[in-house]
């Protein structure tokens, strides 16, 4: 269902849970307004979006390597993507504009733990992912040179026999 045009009646839903979705929408303010429209009085909305790239390096290292190497441009501020709503003030502004009252922010922090023997592939995991598309367009020797850069970037996160990749989400519950 298109979150910016929810095909449900007003005041018809008791609760909405959206984990890491609003940040990917073309217009999250419209999607949040639609969410509010379908929520019954007293209904609840729980949402999470990823925090800043610096606090979620598991998702940002590959892109930063390609951006710093001049292989792709930095994303436009506010463009849909993993970090589109990473700045708490912007997210609160979007939510306020939709007349949704939020309780205190409860930033969630955790860590992705992977065995160190598992090779990290931060770039180009899927054929259609943006990083993979950029990599396919590079000469073979340049692709080979970039191949090990993500693993090097993750070395600060080695703890014993595993990687511990920190992640922080902005989480909120609204009524």
| Amino acid 18: pLDDT | 93
d(CA 60, CA 175): 32
Q: Where does residue 69 rank: exposed (0-12), middle (13-18), buried (19+ CB within 10 A)?
A: middle
Q: Each residue's pLDDT tens digit in the chain (175 positions)?
A: 899 999 999 999 999 999 999 999 999 999 999 999 999 988 888 888 999 998 888 888 888 888 888 888 988 888 899 999 998 888 888 887 676 666 655 566 777 777 765 555 544 454 446 677 888 888 888 887 777 677 778 788 888 888 888 888 888 888 7
- What's the CATH number of domain 13-174, 3.40.50.150, 3.40.50.410, 3.50.50.60, 3.10.129.10? 3.40.50.150
The secondary element (H helix, E strand) that includes residue 97 is helix 88-97
Structure tokens at 12: 């018809």
User: Looking at residue 137, what DSSP letter applies?
Assistant: T
| Amino acid 39: pLDDT | 93
How far is Cα of residue 93 from the mean position of the Cα atoms in its chain? 18
3-state secondary structure of 63: helix
| Amino acid 123: pLDDT | 47
Domain segments of the chain: what residues?
13-174
d(CA 146, CA 7): 45
Q: Around Cβ 72, how many Cβ atoms within 10 Å?
A: 16
């Amino acid at each position: 269902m298109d979150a910016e045009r929810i095909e449900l009646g007003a005041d018809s839903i008791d609760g909405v849970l959206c984990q890491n979705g609003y940040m990917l929408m073309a217009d999250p303010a419209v999607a949040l307004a639609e969410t509010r429209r379908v929520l019954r009085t007293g209904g609840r909305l729980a949402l999470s979006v990823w925090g800043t790239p610096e606090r979620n390096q598991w998702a940002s290292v590959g892109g930063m390597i390609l951006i710093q190497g001049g292989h792709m441009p930095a994303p436009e501020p506010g463009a849909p993507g993993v970090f589109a709503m990473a700045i708490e003030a912007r997210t609160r502004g979007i939510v306020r504009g939709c007349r949704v009252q939020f309780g205190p922010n409860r930033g969630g922090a955790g860590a992705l733990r992977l065995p160190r023997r598992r090779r990290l592939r931060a770039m180009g995991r899927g054929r259609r992912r943006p990083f993979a598309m950029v990599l396919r367009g590079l000469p073979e020797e340049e692709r080979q040179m970039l191949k090990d850069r993500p693993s090097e970037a993750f070395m600060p996160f080695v703890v014993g026999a595993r990687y511990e990749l920190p992640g922080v989400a902005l989480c909120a519950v609204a009524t």
